[in-house]
Amino acid sequence: MTKQIFTKPTHHLDPSHKVAYTNARLFDAESGLDAKGELLTIGSTIADFGPAIFKDGIPQGAKVIDCKGHLLTPGLLDIQVHFREPGQEYKETIETGSKSAASGGVTTVACMPNTKPVIDDVSVVTFIHRRARETGYVNVRTYGAISKGMKGEALTEMGLLKEAGVVGFTDDGLPVMNALLMRRALAYARELGVPVAQHAEDLNLSAHGCMNEGAVSARLGLPGIPNASEAVIVERDIILAELTGGQYHVLHISTAEAVDAVRRAKKKGLKVTAEAAPHHFCLTDEAVAEYRTFCKMNPPLRAEKDRLAIIEGLKDGTIDAIATDHAPHDEESKRVPMTHAAFGIVGLETMLPLSLSLYHNKIMPLRDVIAAMTYKPADIIHVPGGRLKKGAPADLTLIDLDRNWTLEPESFVSKSQNSPFDHWKTKGRAILTVVGGEVVYELS
């Protein structure tokens, strides 16, 4: 029987505390490092690593962790999660959400601002950082809202929010429909050096929609969300990114059309990035039938051609990162007719195995899969981490690549179990998660 052991980080680690990781397969996607070796952390940073750094003996007082040949990678990032705190703590909290992250091998998350109240004020950012320090298991960062109350009207105090520590700006599920507001946000954020991230959806085109518009929605008699609703906003925003020179990031990209638009923007050299969620490269709208509300998310599961386009985008680098859009919901929010059900699924505990399916199915090399969960997302939101480097944060994930396990939402540590991947047989699992030099999660 496996058992998950969680330990909260102290945040007061002795700066001379040493941990020696022996017998590891060191894996760094950025440098291409993939070799047997050893790694030493001192305090909260990576001090050294290499094939035989302990050949003269393990430093005195160091705690030794035998990696047993497993993959030691930089800690994974998930740059789109919803932790529901403050406001909907019955669905998730910073504590349970970050525990879920640790369990999935994720050491840094970026929270979306659709909390109650919205993260549109310095005081809310401060609150989240404090709660993360007091209750969190991993590095909890947050986006700030573009507009006050995410109403799409007036800009938030973006500069002050940046000073308070937000990693970027987004109005989350209420995309900025006003092109002028979007232009100003991109221009302003450019000087702050952070991205403006968009949940790309034209709200008029998608009005009342609850699943992908296509043959399945036609059969089920459900109002659809057309691909065009995503593509028109991505195309518009790319034009605005070019106009302003701002950094534009497409959240959870889901359509072939939008992938194509991002590919063209990158070719032009614009500062445009994109992320994709595992459910968009693992499932199609066929999964919705018959009215499975656990397959309802926004953007919706799309057609097979879109799924393949997402995979193609990940392969050629058009899509930079994998992020889950971890969206916990209680059962009551889902135990209703499809049209009334809440959008979203939990993702932190399934990101790694679902993403590794791309590697195990020989669709992508391991390096590219790990890149999409480490240094690439780190670069989008400009946080340290995501790489094995001397002096980098000692955020590490130990992965048993070949461990077979069946996903069981009822055993998730997240407060919510709304996952469509129940009973999926997967391969590859995080067995140790290290945040700032401290082991926060271990699978025994």
Partner 1 sequence: MPLPYLTEVEAGLYYLTESITSGNMGDKLKNKINTAYPHRHLLGIEGISRENINHILDLAESYIEKNRQIDKKHVILKGRTLINLFFENSTRTRMSFELAGKRLGADVINMSVATSSVKKGETLIDTAMTLNAMHPDFIVARHPESGAVHLLSRKVNCAVINAGDGSHEHPTQALLDALTIRRKKGRIEGLTVAICGDILHSRVARSNILLLNAMGAKVRIIAPPTLMPAQAEKLGAKVFYDMREGIKDCDIIMMLRLQLERMETNFIPSVREYFHFWGLDEEKLALAKPDALIMHPGPINRGVEIDTKLADDLNRSVILDQVEMGVAVRQAVLEILSHTLQE
Strands (E) across 57-136 are located at: 63-66, 71-74, 76-81, 106-111
Q: Do the Cβ atoms of 37 and 21 come closer than 8 Å? A: no
Of 115, 156, 419, 433, which lies in the binding site for partner 1, with binding defined by CB under 8 A? 419
Which among 76-84, 192-200, 222-230, 370-378 is the span making contact with partner 1, rule CB under 8 A? Answer: 222-230
Find the shortest distance in angstroms from Cβ 307 to partner 1: 8
Judged on CB neighbours under 10 Å (0-12, 13-18, 19+), 408 is middle
Query: x/- binding map, residues 370-409, to partner 1, per CB under 8 A?
Result: ---------------------------------------x
Of 33, 58, 155, 287, which lies in the binding site for partner 1, with binding defined by CB under 8 A? 287
Q: Is 154 in the site for partner 1 (CB under 8 A)?
A: no
Q: Is 339 in the site for partner 1 (CB under 8 A)?
A: yes
Of 294, 375, 412, 441, which lies in the binding site for partner 1, with binding defined by CB under 8 A? 294
379's CB contacts (< 8 A; 6+ apart) are 320, 386
- What are the φ/ψ torsions at residue 109 (nearest 5 degrees)? -125, 155
Considering beta carbons, is residue 267 or 362 the nearer one to partner 1?
Answer: 362
User: How far is Cα 412 from Cα 418, in angstroms, rounded to an integer?
Assistant: 10
Q: Is 220 in the site for partner 1 (CB under 8 A)?
A: yes
Q: How many residues bind partner 1 (CB under 8 A)?
A: 50
Considering beta carbons, is residue 300 or 437 the nearer one to partner 1?
Answer: 300
Residue 11, number of CB atoms within 10 A of its CB: 13
Residue with tokens 């799924």: 307
Considering beta carbons, is residue 221 or 391 the nearer one to partner 1?
Answer: 221
Q: Is 292 in the site for partner 1 (CB under 8 A)?
A: yes
Q: Is 311 in the site for partner 1 (CB under 8 A)?
A: yes
Q: Is 228 in the site for partner 1 (CB under 8 A)?
A: no
395 is catalytic: no
**Residues shown for the chain:** 444
Residue 240, number of CB atoms within 10 A of its CB: 22
Q: How far from 13 is each of 58, 65, 130, 243, CA to CA, in Å?
A: 20, 17, 18, 46
Find the shortest distance in angstroms from Cβ 333 to partner 1: 9
| Axis crossing angle, helix 94-103 with helix 122-135, rounded to the nearest 10 | 60
Of 217, 324, 397, 433, which lies in the binding site for partner 1, with binding defined by CB under 8 A? 217
Tell me which of 325, 330, 368, 379 is the catalytic residue.
325
In a 13 Å sphere around the CA of 61, the CA atoms on its Cβ side amount to 8
SS (H, E, C) 11-74: CCCCCCCEEEEEEEEEEECCCCEEEEEEEEEECCEEEEEECCCCCCCCCCCCEEEECCCCEEEE
Find the shortest distance in angstroms from Cβ 312 to partner 1: 9
User: How far is Cα 444 from Cα 438, in angstroms, rounded to an integer?
Assistant: 17
Q: Is 361 in the site for partner 1 (CB under 8 A)?
A: yes
Q: Do the Cβ atoms of 265 and 250 come closer than 8 Å? A: no
Q: Is 334 in the site for partner 1 (CB under 8 A)?
A: yes
Query: Residues 189 to 208: which contact partner 1 by CB under 8 A?
Result: 207
Of 338, 394, 396, 413, which lies in the binding site for partner 1, with binding defined by CB under 8 A? 338
Q: Is 282 in the site for partner 1 (CB under 8 A)?
A: yes
Cα 333 to the center of its chain, rounded Å:
23
Which among 118-126, 174-182, 210-218, 245-253 is the span making contact with partner 1, rule CB under 8 A? Answer: 210-218
User: How far is Cα 185 from Cα 195, in angstroms, rounded to an integer?
Assistant: 10
Q: Is 129 in the site for partner 1 (CB under 8 A)?
A: no
Q: Is 365 in the site for partner 1 (CB under 8 A)?
A: no
Residues involved in catalysis: 325
Binding site for partner 1 (CB under 8 A): 207, 213-215, 217-224, 226, 282-284, 286-287, 290-295, 304, 308, 311, 331-332, 334-341, 357-358, 361-363, 409, 419-425
